[in-house]
Amino acid sequence: MKELIFPRSDRTALLVIDIQDRLLAAMPQDEVERMLRHTRVLVELAHTYAWPVYYTEQYPQGLGATESSLLALLEQAGGTRCEKVEFSCLGNETFASSILPRLPSHIVVAGMEAHVCVLQTVLDLQARGYQSFVPEDAVASRDLRHKMNGLHLMEKAGAVNVNTESIMFNVLGKAGGENFKKFSRLVR
């Protein structure tokens, strides 16, 4: 049962979609702070547990680069960048030919906007047999109603809506040890 609602650490990748400077400026500030905080935790988790990390930038010439503090973590985690103009990552030729064949079966998807690029990517992942896990606290949209609708649609397509702490504690499995201390500090 647990495998139906949580990603398996031994076959999981993290995909961070379009958390870019100019897009962030259009989002509600409290949503931005929440999304960035939880996405950073997910990147740290992926790095610690050796999950592959991928991140996209939607038309960076116009929307800017990935937010700098997040970009530093993504690079530290060995993240692979993909520039795109397509809303679904899977519609991008580079992503489809270079990244998709390397993806494990479970994908944790964070980013924005929840009802556009995240939604279309998750729908395509689900249609191709991947299992998507979408932490509701690590996605954002300009309008909270659109975010909630996007999460609902992803769930109807078979994605699992979850939260960052649940993923984190499921991966940790128990209290104690250095990883538990490290991640407990990150979510306080």
pLDDT per residue as tens digits for the range 20-76: 999 999 999 999 999 999 999 999 999 999 999 999 999 999 999 999 999 999 999
Number of neighbouring beta carbons within 10 Å of residue 152: 13
Confidence grade of residue 187 (pLDDT, cut at 50, 70, 90): confident
Confidence grade of residue 16 (pLDDT, cut at 50, 70, 90): very high
**Residue ranges of domains in the chain, CATH in brackets:** 2-186 (3.40.50.850)
* 14 and 110 Cβ atoms separated by less than 8 Å: yes
- The percentage of residues in the chain with a pLDDT greater than 70, rounded to a whole number, is 98
Torsions phi, psi for 161 (to 5 deg): -85, 125
pTM above threshold 0.95: yes
Q: If you compute the radius of gyration of the chain from its CA atoms, what whole number of angstroms results?
A: 15
pLDDT of residue 1: 56
C-alpha 59/C-alpha 18 separation (Å) is 9
For residues 188 and 48, the model is more confident at 48
